[in-house]
Structure 1
């Protein structure tokens, strides 16, 4: 007999706890921000090193950010946006439409 639960079921059980949900949401935000920066950087044909220089950062900091490893401050996001030739836009989205 196989007593193992599918990953989705295990994940749902874990994130049912409020503390885990908060951590999961924070990780999701970091990942989504990193993905947005990476996609824009690649679309512009920039390397991580080029983005880092333009934003006044070191390349490893850009790599960590793009991997979702750090929660950025608004000033950092503004620097990245400027370096990517973009404008930072922050918005509130109703929970019933959030992903």
Structure 2
């Protein structure tokens, strides 16, 4: 009989592959960026439709982005920032501090 492994062990084994790690990191970035825009849109009570109008996008594209479904370009992030009355800040942090 084979030994059972926990979810964390299975996940760690799967992420040992460089390709899987790269895909996981890309998904994490998409999710974090989408969450950041959604939180900043929600704070003043702005709808996805209003944000879409302010950025020249369609509402489904905003929804997809906020759900982590697309990897944005820097110009798109700048459009979101301007529409939200903010300034885009891009930076680097040490890996030991990264979430």
> TM-score normalized by structure 2?
0.94
Report Cα offsets for 1:64-94 as digits up to 9, x if no partner: 0000000000000000010011110000111
- RMSD in angstroms over aligned alpha carbons? 1.4
Query: Would you say 1:7 and 2:18 are equivalent positions?
Result: no
Structure 2 distance, partners of 1:58, 1:5, is: 44
SS of alignment partner, residue 86 of structure 2: coil
Structure 2 distance, partners of 1:7, 1:55, is: 40
Query: Would you say 1:87 and 2:87 are equivalent positions?
Result: yes
Structure 2 distance, partners of 1:12, 1:59, is: 36
Report the alpha carbon displacement of residue 3 of structure 1 after superposing the two structures with TM: 5.2
Structure 2 distance, partners of 1:16, 1:43, is: 38
Question: Which residue in 2 is equivalent to 1:49?
Answer: 49
**Tell me, which stretches of 5 or more residues in structure 2 are unaligned?**
none
SS of alignment partner, residue 96 of structure 1: helix
Structure 2 distance, partners of 1:2, 1:47, is: 51
Report Cα offsets for 1:45-77 as digits up to 9, x if no partner: 001000000011000000000000000000000
Report the alpha carbon displacement of residue 4 of structure 1 after superposing the two structures with TM: 4.4
Aligned pair count reads 99
